[in-house]
Amino acid sequence: MIRGFGDALAESRSLLRRRVEEAHEVIHAVLAGVPGAFPEVAPAPDDRRALQDHAYAVLRTYLDPFMAMVFNGEESVRLAVGGKRLKKVARRLHDALEECAAAYEPVADLAEALADASPGYRTVTYERVSAALIVLAAWDASHEGPARELTESLLRSVERDGRIRLGLFVCPPVDFTRINGDQPELYLRDHMHGSVLSRLAGRLRELFRGLEGAEVDVELRTLIGDTDEDDYLWYGVPAPSHLDRLALDARREALIAAVTHYLTEEVPGARGGQPRVFRGAALAVERLSAKAPSAQCRNVYASVLADPFAYFDRQDIEAEMAIMRGLWAPGSYYEGLPEPDGDVLAGIVVRKFATYAMQGRLLRELEPDLVLVQTERPPLLRARMLNAGWDGTGRSSLPTVDFFEPEDR
């Protein structure tokens, strides 16, 4: 894996902590027999900024005076640790301090800029949001600078709760070749291996690893998009008459545990065990079908359905139709379902656009300061679909960072 900004921050902190521990060992050895009075060595703090202050105090209070005692001409004092060792430990601690300060310089610079642009937050909020923004920007395949909506959402979240809020849609794992069997509800699989999520897991893990390294606490809200069939697909490709809806609902409910396990399962790696995608207790996995849309959300769906060209142009419709035709190819998502003709597929696409517009509004209503990790292609079209419920321009009301590079504009 390519070493990223979060890794660099984590390594600089880890190095500084090792050098502080090394200095503590030397100081304790010296204090056991040094003449004169020195204060007791305080434990190394966990907080990075406090650790840096502690390291400076260790140099100033102990290591520098010890060396002055050893290298004092005819009045030099013999200590339990020789001058050569003291010099080496002091130099290594000083170098680690400089490396840590250099690693965090971009965070400090951006925090200062944020404080000027959006005054009123705590210093620690600006620092944490700055670290988050740098990691997110490096990962975001859109290659665009952070939008103001994204920055403000992060600032509010961190100021209020000490963490950022990220959202993730997960496509249910399906095998539609089973749809015409005796138990058509088995088309919804009960595990995530080989799913769409499994193909995204590696790069998603890079994002969360980077945020971990930058000491950015994350709350991840994962929504299983289990309404697609009812919202648009079954309108053009009718569901089997013997589909057991209760059994299907039970399988949808079981997916919560399956997705949770898949996201957090420890897997071996070059640096030892690590979660497949996300580490941390602040993980919520929910079914989208369990979220009752508000009246405003339902109005969005109805409005797009009634007049799709008030929100999208014909090129958008045609682009999505081309994408969906590919989903009926052998080995693809809808293999096993009868492929609709052009007119039916156009109707499915319009309902899909209405669904996404409703979901974008629902997501923003559920969590106003959520930033969506957008993992679908084409990202620019998906942004217009998700934000159609806010205005007619497609400008982002739902802050996102994109997994994929944007399509040609």
Give yes or no for residue 2 having a pLDDT over 50.
no
53-91 pLDDT, tens digit each: 999 999 999 999 999 999 988 888 889 999 999 999 999
pTM to 2 decimal places: 0.90
Q: What is the CA radius of gyration of the chain?
A: 28
Average pLDDT over residues 222-235: 94
Q: What per-residue confidence (pLDDT) applies to 1?
A: 40
Asked whether residue 345 carries a pLDDT value surpassing 50, the answer given is yes
Q: pLDDT tens for residues 207-217?
A: 999 999 999 99
- What's the average model confidence in pLDDT over 220-224? 97
Share of the chain above pLDDT 70, in %: 96
Write out pLDDT tens, residues 369-383.
Answer: 999 999 999 999 999
- For 191, the 3-state DSSP assignment is coil
Q: What is the pLDDT of residue 392?
A: 52
Whether the CA torsion 277, 281, 286, 291 is positive or negative: it is negative
What is the pLDDT at residue 396? 55
- The pLDDT tens digits of the residues spanning 163-193 come to 999 999 999 999 999 998 999 999 999 999 8
DSSP, res 173: P
Residue 395 and residue 380: Cα distance in Å, rounded?
A: 10
CA distance 297 to 305: 12
- Count of alpha carbons within 13 Å of 266, Cβ hemisphere only? 5
Euclidean distance between CA atoms 108 and 105, whole angstroms? 5
pLDDT of residue 271: 63
Q: What is the pLDDT of residues 391-408, one digit of tens each?
A: 655 555 789 999 999 987
pLDDT at position 408 is 75
Pairing of strands 266-267, 274-275: antiparallel
Strands 371-374 and 283-287: unpaired
